[in-house]
Amino acid sequence: MGRVTLSNVTKRYGDVTAVEEMNLDIQDGEFVTFVGPSGCGKSTTLETIAGLTTPTSGTITIAGREVTNLPPKDRGIAMVFQNIALFPHMDVYDNVSFGLRLRDYPKEEIDRRVERAADIVQLEGMLERMPDEMSGGQRQRVAIARAIVREPEVFLMDEPLANLDAKLRVHMRTELQRLHKELDTTIIYVTHDQAEAMTMSDRIAVIDGGHLQQIAPPLTCYNEPANLFVAGFIGSPSMNFVEAEVTASGLLTRDFDVEFDPTQLSEIAEGDAVTLGVRPEDVYLREDRETVANPTQPIPARTDVLEPMGDEIFVYLLTGDGDAQMEIDAEAEAPQNQLLMSVDPASDVAADTDVEVVLDRERIHLFDTESGEALSHGLEFATVEPGRTGTEAEGDD
């Protein structure tokens, strides 16, 4: 069965460590996506599984067999490449049957399997064509047919949709999911696109700097990110982060307070520097606070820019006095006091007006600023009676 295990896999190129101490256990039939920014080590990890690269240390097992030093052809894998990599001097039939012919399958068996693969990826009647006579999507389907025809234990896909145009990419995304349902084979998929990862996978492995940050089902990565990197990477637009300090009565940020009882969280103590994270859809206008079971005190802010998307409007808010607070720092991409809010398109919100917003306490994430580790998902457990500190919150800019 197609279970893939990586234990302590490390890959170094000279002084550069591409992958460090990677431990993964991928179940048979699972669709796992490696996601991360470019150069994070996700492709290198896939190449070590494929056997195109030998890890510096660590072991890899596929289907219960240790394959760390086996050549790619003996690993029971098939791979779809980003640049598609069809053999340009062979027609579709020869491309798809290449692996079977190498393994000396009988002619009838090859024909039967090629027919079936062509049927699955809807390439009937194109077996005689040369790759340069086909469109990008058709070529990608040939590459997938070439992978499925050998009935491997594991499919490896290295950004297979990256070179396709946006519309075709979305279409192929559903086709790949359908294929996974049909074949029920382990698929390891590499992408830098978090939307692809979210939509297709059973589990997402978020990788950054050669380290595995979190491996969990997509919604867990979204709702309970393990650290600041995962929180910022998964979800589009990404989560709002606000620097904060733990006080005796909750959190103190530059422009507002969030009341809670810090003793309820064992990891933090008064005076700790923490980062508050909240997704745009968990920020509400004050007039909508009834829809939130557990809102924070109203936070004064000024709307800056609106981005109507049709189904929602993204509102860029500047908390505090409404001036953009830019740190003197080249890395800062946005004002420090910027808060992104997603509101219903029916809301009558206008640019450059003063508003008050609330955060959904159950959806506030707390991270240790130093290590980036998540401390808590949700601050609903220590609600302080409203009214007692409301004026303080509003008075603070």
Q: Are 56 and 10 in contact (CB under 8 A)?
A: yes
Q: What is the largest CA-CA distance in the chain?
A: 82
How far apart are CB 158 and other proteins at their closest, in Å?
9
How far apart are CB 155 and other proteins at their closest, in Å?
11
Nearest by Cα to 301 from 355, 236, 352? 355
Tell me whether residue 86 or residue 265 sits nearer to other proteins (CB atom): 86
How far apart are CB 14 and other proteins at their closest, in Å?
11
Tell me whether residue 51 or residue 298 sits nearer to other proteins (CB atom): 51
Tell me whether residue 12 or residue 377 sits nearer to other proteins (CB atom): 12
| CA atoms in the 13 A half-sphere facing the CB of 177 | 12
The neighbouring-strand residues paired with 343 are 313
Which run of H or E residues covers position 173?
helix 166-183
Q: How many whole angstroms separate alpha carbon 265 and alpha carbon 137?
A: 51
How far apart are CB 193 and other proteins at their closest, in Å?
20
Tell me whether residue 53 or residue 275 sits nearer to other proteins (CB atom): 53
Cα angle 23, 148, 115 (rounded to 5 degrees) comes to 175
List the structure tokens of 315.
């509102």
How far apart are CB 167 and other proteins at their closest, in Å?
24
- 8-state DSSP, 229: H
How far apart are CB 188 and other proteins at their closest, in Å?
13
How far apart are CB 103 and other proteins at their closest, in Å?
6
Q: List the 354-359 sheet strands across, edge first.
A: 283-285, 354-359, 299-308, 313-319, 338-343
Q: Is 297 exposed, middle or buried (0-12, 13-18, 19+ CB in 10 A)?
A: buried
Tell me whether residue 87 or residue 381 sits nearer to other proteins (CB atom): 87
Under the rule (CB under 8 A), what is the footprint of other proteins?
50-52, 71-73, 77-79, 81-89, 98-99, 102-103, 146, 150, 156
Q: Identify the sign of the CA torsion 352, 331, 329, 284.
A: positive
Q: Identify the sign of the CA torsion 334, 337, 342, 345.
A: negative
Tell me whether residue 143 or residue 207 sits nearer to other proteins (CB atom): 143
Nearest by Cα to 378 from 253, 289, 292? 292
Query: Phi then psi for 167, rounded to 5 degrees?
Result: -70, -45
Tell me whether residue 164 or residue 204 sits nearer to other proteins (CB atom): 164
Tell me whether residue 103 or residue 388 sits nearer to other proteins (CB atom): 103
How far apart are CB 63 and other proteins at their closest, in Å?
16
The neighbouring-strand residues paired with 366 are 276, 376
